[in-house]
């Protein structure tokens, strides 16, 4: 590597334990109640800041286990530690990806006080959510999750949701839209149930899944546009729109293929990079994907680890294939390593089902809408619409 | 016969010149509203892109070129009025190198309410 790496996202596993047992979960160790040691966190953040690899700021996501199974006091101490170690000119933000079942008044106050970004995993209406998001005894978790969501709203805590789409919910964009609007959920992200690690998704394997996904997004977008002000953010649509309509000079890179841009640490200090899902998985070619332990190794040494070199060579070969063969390369930058590995059997490959859905069909949708406007030539009407919606509506982005 | 890149860009220039000044939400609403009446029932083969001759990469290049042209005009106009600032570039949308890990929403680039 020539230029020093830039860590942009640090995924920290405070505990591998999760209080629920979703049927599609890829985390292998989610019954383990271990907790990351304060020394391990100290070693991590000391090294990250000393390396200069996070000089432009750092986003920390506490994830890969349910973060709220640990007490608030754990995070109070952890955040204080980070703040003490952080150079004054390096901004750090913290976020939780949570199942929402443990949110209470105290958590809401803490989240608001600490300005923690919150993502709640909820799969839509109860009949969709409870199919997969269940307790260890198989009971649905919808009631507890929605209670957490309502509490966040009552406290005025901003949050987004991530909904995993199944074949049932993919066929029900209206029901999904009505659910979000009914619950006052304004920021929505969709994942499609994927095959990763030990989980093999039937939804993902179904033929024509990318067409279903296209139709879902298309109808969902139409519904959102017909009710301005109800949804502020639909990640898949907003990301695709931004990628299609970016100036040609605008920079773009795919952090998932850059070493250390996304860095993950498990509860015992093991470090992995590229797709966060790799940490905890195993492969014949790369072992457990671990390139070192923060309690024993320096980040500089990890950058020289032979497993990293092998992964990087294969990932770059895969990116080169994407560049050569894929019309959508400029919106994606070479795909998701974890999906290439688990769908195609190798990092050194190109297209995946994940690509087809999240990048290609979402891009197609935006292109189709632009094309529809261009071919119709009814720009006067469109302009009137734009003028209407732009009045008094501030852009949510810098 | 494929359209010349310049004419394709000119065609998109007209469309994006109407869209872009509305900002991210305005663009999203306008494009969202440009859907067929029952989008969920429309067969994929009936989408406009299925009958467009140009490939995806050509169309993306033409659209981005149009956005750049439009943006340059805007910056030039702002310069003439002594209003040039970094924020004038890109219609204030910002095109960061954002993270695309799918369990992550990139708060820093998307969230300004804190």
Q: State the ipTM, two decimals.
A: 0.84
- Which one has a higher pLDDT value, B44 or A138? A138
Strand A117-121 and strand A58-62: pairing?
unpaired
Minimal-distance CA residue of chain A relative to B71: A247
For residue A293, what are the β-bridge partners?
A270
Flag whether residue A76 sits within 8 Å of chain B, measured between CB atoms.
no
Strands A117-121 and A92-98: parallel
**Is residue A343 pLDDT above 70, yes or no?**
yes
Matching residue, tokens 């869209």 = B19
With 50 as the cut, is the pLDDT of residue A163 above it? yes
CB-based contact B27 A374, cutoff 8 Å: no
Please judge whether B102 and A239 are an interchain contact, meaning their C-beta atoms are less than 8 angstroms apart.
no
Residue, of B89 and A103, whose pLDDT is higher: A103
Picking from A60, A218, A392 by the largest number of B CB atoms within 10 A of its own CB, the best residue to mutate is A218
User: What pLDDT does A31 receive?
Assistant: 93
Tokens of A167: 């074949």
Q: Strands across the sheet with A160-165, in order?
A: A233-234, A187-192, A160-165, A117-121, A92-98, A58-62, A9-12, A262-265, A270-273, A292-293
Instruction: Say which DSSP state A37 is in.
Output: -
CA A72 to CA A76: how far, in whole Å? 6
β-strand partners of A161: A120, A188
pLDDT for A204-257, tens place per residue?
666 678 889 999 999 999 999 999 999 998 999 998 998 899 888 887 788 899
Q: Is the pLDDT of residue A69 over 90?
A: yes
- Say yes or no for a CB contact (<8 Å) between B40 and A366: no
Measured in degrees and rounded to the nearest 5, phi and psi for residue A61 equal: -110, 125
Q: Give residue-wise pLDDT tens across range A109-146.
A: 999 999 999 999 999 999 999 999 999 999 999 999 99
Burial of A159: CB neighbours in 10 Å, binned 0-12, 13-18, 19+: buried
Task: With a cut of 70, say whether residue B113 has pLDDT above it.
Answer: no
Residue A6 DSSP SS3: coil
What are the backbone dihedrals phi and psi of residue A174, each rounded to the nearest 5 degrees, phi first? -65, -45
Domain A9-244, CATH number (from 3.40.1190.20, 3.20.20.70, 3.30.1240.10, 3.40.50.920): 3.20.20.70
Question: Nearest residue on chain A to B29, judged by CA atoms?
Answer: A225
How many distinct structural domains can be found in chain B?
A: 1
For B42, the domain range is 5-110
DSSP β-ladder status, A160-165 and A58-62: unpaired
pLDDT at A286: 94
Selected residue with higher pLDDT from B69 and A16: A16
Is residue A267 within 8 A of residue A14, CB to CB? The reply is yes
Mark yes or no for CB contact B47/A364 under 8 Å. yes
**Residues of chain A numbered 361-390 and touching chain B (CB < 8 Å):** 363-364, 366-376, 379, 382-383, 385-387, 389-390
Closest partner residue to A173 (CB to CB) among B40, B57, B106 is B40
Scan residues 142-161 of A and list those with Cβ closer than 8 Å to B. 158, 160
What pTM, to 2 d.p., does this model score? 0.87
Tell me which chain A residue has its CA closest to the CA of residue B56: A327
């Amino acid at each position: 590597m020539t230029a020093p790496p830039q860590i942009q996202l640090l995924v920290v596993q405070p505990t591998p334990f999760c209080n629920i047992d979703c049927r599609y979960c890829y985390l292998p160790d989610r019954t383990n109640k271990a907790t990351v040691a304060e020394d391990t966190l100290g070693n991590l953040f000391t090294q990250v800041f000393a390396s200069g690899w996070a000089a432009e700021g750092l986003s920390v996501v506490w994830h890969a286990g349910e973060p709220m199974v640990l007490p608030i006091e754990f995070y109070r101490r952890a955040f204080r530690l980070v703040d003490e170690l952080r150079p004054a000119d390096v901004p750090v933000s913290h976020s939780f990806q949570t199942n929402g079942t443990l949110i209470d008044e105290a958590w809401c106050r803490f989240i608001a006080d600490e300005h923690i970004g919150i993502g709640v995993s909820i799969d839509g209406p109860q009949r969709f959510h409870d199919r997969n998001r269940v307790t260890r005894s198989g009971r649905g978790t919808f009631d507890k999750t929605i209670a957490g969501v309502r509490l966040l709203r009552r406290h005025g805590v901003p949050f987004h949701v991530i909904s995993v789409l199944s074949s049932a919910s993919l066929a029900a964009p209206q029901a999904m839209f009505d659910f979000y609007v009914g619950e006052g959920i304004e920021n929505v992200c969709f994942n499609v149930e994927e095959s990763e690690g030990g989980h093999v998704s039937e939804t993902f394997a179904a033929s024509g899944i990318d067409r279903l996904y296209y139709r879902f997004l298309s109808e969902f977008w139409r519904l959102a546009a017909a009710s301005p002000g109800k949804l502020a953010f639909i990640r898949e649509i907003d990301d695709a729109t931004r990628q299609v309509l970016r100036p040609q000079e605008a920079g773009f890179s795919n952090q998932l293929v850059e070493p250390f841009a996304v860095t993950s640490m498990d509860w015992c200090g093991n470090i992995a990079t590229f797709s966060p899902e790799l940490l905890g998985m195993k492969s014949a070619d790369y072992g457990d994907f671990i390139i070192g332990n923060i309690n024993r190794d320096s980040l500089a040494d990890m950058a020289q680890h032979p497993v990293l070199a092998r992964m990087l060579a294969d990932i770059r070969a895969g990116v080169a294939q994407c560049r050569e063969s894929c019309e959508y390369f400029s919106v994606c930058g070479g795909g998701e390593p974890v999906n290439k590995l688990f769908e195609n059997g190798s990092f050194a490959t190109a297209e995946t089902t994940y690509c087809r859905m999240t990048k290609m069909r979402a891009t197609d949708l935006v292109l189709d809408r632009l094309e529809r406007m261009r071919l119709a030539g009814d720009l006067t009407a469109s302009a009137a619409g734009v003028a209407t919606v732009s009045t008094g509506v501030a852009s949510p982005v810098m | 016969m494929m359209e010349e890149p310049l004419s394709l860009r000119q065609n998109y220039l007209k469309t994006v010149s109407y869209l872009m000044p509305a900002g991210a939400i305005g663009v999203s609403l306008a494009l969202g509203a440009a859907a067929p009446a029952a989008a969920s029932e429309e067969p994929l083969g009936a989408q406009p892109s299925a009958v467009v001759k140009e490939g995806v990469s050509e169309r993306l290049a033409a659209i981005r070129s149009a956005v750049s042209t439009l943006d340059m005009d805007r910056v030039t106009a702002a310069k003439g009025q002594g209003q040039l600032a970094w924020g004038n570039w890109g219609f204030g949308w910002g095109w960061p190198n954002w993270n695309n890990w799918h369990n992550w929403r990139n708060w820093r680039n998307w969230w300004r309410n804190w």
